[in-house]
Amino acid sequence: MTDTNTYSTLTERRPGIFELTLNRPEKHNAFDDAMIQNLITLLDQAETIEHLRLLVVRSEGKHFSAGADLGWMKRMAGNSHNENLIDARQLAKLMDKLNHFSRPTLALVQGAAYGGAVGLAACCDLVIASRDARFCLSEVKIGLIPAVISPYVIRAIGERQARRYFLTAEAFTAEEAQMFGLVHKVVDTSADLPHSAETFIQQLSLNSPEAMMAAKSLIFTVSQHAIDAELIEETAKRIADIRVSAEGQEGLNAFLNKRQPNWIQENNNNVQ
């Protein structure tokens, strides 16, 4: 399955493994309103694909994304406050959809990842970056702020680092991004990204698809929530729910009988 829009594509590389690709290399994959809307549409499509196991977010060309497109910014500067608010809500919608995508997401980052691109990475569950990757929250240099991406970036790198990089607009390296928590793994070159991604793909293929979806939902419920009676009861309910689910029963049965669960068998058959 492939969407042929110039700006971004959704492609099934092999059964269950889909790639959401920023495809505007001549503009360093810079965002504009058309790309944002296209990405929202493709995420909505991906969410409805029942056999999707993993969504890989990547880009064509030397750079992951240079951030906002200059032509788009020029148009927005001439628009009214209300028009700017409507436009900003679309970027916020994109970040929300990617952050809350129900299946695992993996970002592959090379070259420049500026502005909103840092937000895309922060919204993904797993991030691999090549050593040449450079991250930058550059908005204050042009009198703006990284507003709609801030909830995701601050959760990824922490308030202390945000208080530096939101204000200084310094670029930081892939190794620094890993130290901050934004990146999970650094590889030597962009050519190494697919191989490194394969390691995560194989690891995820061992796990129950339903359990991974439930685990993501659990993280969003527990994170930033006070440990109180309501949360304790909610977590008890969630483990009870999944224990009696079809995949929960299959996983427990397979463990007790020392065999592979059927989702591994199905995945191996699909790959072959």
Please give the Cα distance from 74 to 161 (Å, whole number): 30
Burial 198-224 (b: 16+ CB within 10 A, else e): eebbeebbebbbbbbbbebebeeeeee
Angle subtended at Cα 6 by Cα 5 and Cα 12, rounded to the nearest 5 degrees? 55
> What φ, ψ does residue 253 adopt, rounded to 5°?
-65, -45
> What φ, ψ does residue 141 adopt, rounded to 5°?
-65, -25
What tens digit of pLDDT does each residue of 42-89 get?
999 999 999 999 999 999 999 999 998 888 888 888 888 888 888 889
Q: How far from 201 is each of 93, 133, 159, 188, CA to CA, in Å?
A: 27, 22, 31, 19
Please give the Cα distance from 95 to 97 (Å, whole number): 6
At residue 5, the pLDDT reads 53
What tens digit of pLDDT does each residue of 205-259 get?
999 999 999 999 999 999 878 888 988 888 888 878 887 888 888 888 888 888 9
Residue 90 tokens read as 């679309």
Best CA proximity match to 231, nearest among 221, 239, 216: 221
Judged against a pLDDT cut of 60, whether residue 97 lies above it is answered with yes
At residue 218, the pLDDT reads 93
Judged against a pLDDT cut of 70, whether residue 1 lies above it is answered with no
Q: What is the pTM of this model?
A: 0.89
How is the chain split among helix, strand and coil, in percent rounded to 5? 55, 15, 30
**Distance, C-alpha 87 to centroid of its chain:** 21
Strand-pairing partners, residue 108, are 128
Q: Which residue has the tokens 């310094």?
A: 170
Under a CB-based contact definition with an 8 Å cutoff, are residues 265 and 51 in contact? no
CB atoms within 10 A of CB 47: 14
Kind and range of the H or E element at 237?
Answer: helix 229-243
What tens digit of pLDDT does each residue of 124-158 get?
999 999 999 999 999 999 888 999 999 999 999 99
Residue 41 tokens read as 């549409």
Sequence-distant (6+) residues with CB within 8 A of 167 are 140
Strand-pairing partners, residue 21, are 9, 58
Residue 199 tokens read as 């390691």
Give the type of residue at 215. Answer: A
Tell me, what DSSP letter sits at residue 227?
Answer: -
